[in-house]
Structure 1
């Protein structure tokens, strides 16, 4: 036996293709959040996932299709979480409960799945136009949902303008959770959102 041992690359165990694709997309989103979009490459993704380039190419035909699949997946995840947090209807006599439950649910989602929300709420320089377009389109869908909800509890109000204000407040506090989760706990954020939104959405009496 030779005194020199030939080193080989770690072998990537065979896994179902869908599981492998999820692993590769998870690696890609970690790179985006940590290093930015301009650092994403097949080599970087393979290294992050602990596999070889051929394994990545076996799951996706190239970087373009991979990033498109990632964008689709993250869009579905984000919208599902948001719509789960926003009720279809609410009791106009108990707006505090609406705010409390919605904000608490959103804070929990941000804490449990920051990798989905960081590229959306903390999108910085270098974010591709295609990603920004998706974010803007989804924001409009959510804003419409919020406007419909406002109409149900505050008939006759300017729900379009109020929806812009509500979404801006929620996005701002969402960024605080992502940037400093230990400092901004759920109770503190619920109280803060209440103090900001109460004058906007509570009927004058």
Structure 2
């Protein structure tokens, strides 16, 4: 869309966009901010650059976000939501469906999604930004932990509770088991992504499958 076209989203009689236009504008802003942060890093990205690339005025950006840290936090939250979406759906299915998928199938599917997302170039760039900004903006790392990791733990532990209630597995502490599962399955991939190390998909798939099977054996999957 041309810059002239994008400006239409901000202009209406009285200068106020419709709700749909505002939502489209905000989504475009986050998409552009994500791309620039991942390409240029935190220090190399400015509000000016994001506004220009998105075809949105600076005052409009500042009306939505206080500063660059606030904008990056919004980018981080969106990435977390996308990462957690399959996990939330799986936990709901385990709780509501009459015949949900087995714990083995569920954990293999979830781990495949999580690792693919973790190994994407954008994920590694995001991890590096969090590490580089940890001292100046510790609240960003806190956000990633509380809204990302801990919510993932709760989702996996919910799946395990449901599976245990059906007699499919035996697990005494679902939350601890969820921590172990996520560390076991994602630890290797997160390190690769953080340091930008390329990985062979077949090797990573073997590692993922072995990690999930090892975990399932540990919780005595039937």
Q: Normalization by structure 2: what TM-score?
A: 0.63
Task: Say which structure is richer in helix.
Answer: 2
Question: d(CA) in 1 for partners of 2:141 and 2:93?
Answer: 27
1:129 aligns to what?
138
Change (3 A) 1:135 1:55: same
Equivalent position to 2:109, from 101, 106, 112: 101
Aligned pairs for 1:1-205 within 5 A: 12-15=3-6, 16=9, 17-46=22-51, 49=53, 51=55, 55-61=57-63, 64=67, 66-84=71-89, 88-89=93-94, 94-109=102-117, 115=122, 118-119=125-126, 123-127=130-134, 128-138=137-147, 139-151=149-161, 152-153=163-164, 154-175=169-190, 178=193, 179=196, 183-185=200-202, 187-203=205-221
- Could you tell me how far 1:183 is from its partner in structure 2? 1.0
Describe the superposition over 1:132-181 as per-residue Cα deviations: whole angstroms up to 9, x where unpaired. 12111122222122223223333452323212111112332542675456
Counterpart secondary structure, 2:131 = coil
Counterpart secondary structure, 1:13 = helix
Unaligned runs of 5+ residues in structure 2 are 10-21
Question: d(CA) in 1 for partners of 2:187 and 2:131?
Answer: 15
Contact 2:90 2:106 (C-alpha < 8 Å) held by counterparts: no
CA RMSD of aligned residues (A): 3.8
1:6 aligns to what?
none
Change (3 A) 1:192 1:32: farther
Change (3 A) 1:73 1:163: closer
Describe the superposition over 1:94-128 as per-residue Cα deviations: whole angstroms up to 9, x where unpaired. 543233222233345557x7636752598422143
Contact 2:87 2:110 (C-alpha < 8 Å) held by counterparts: no
Change (3 A) 1:162 1:44: same
**How many pairs were matched up?**
190
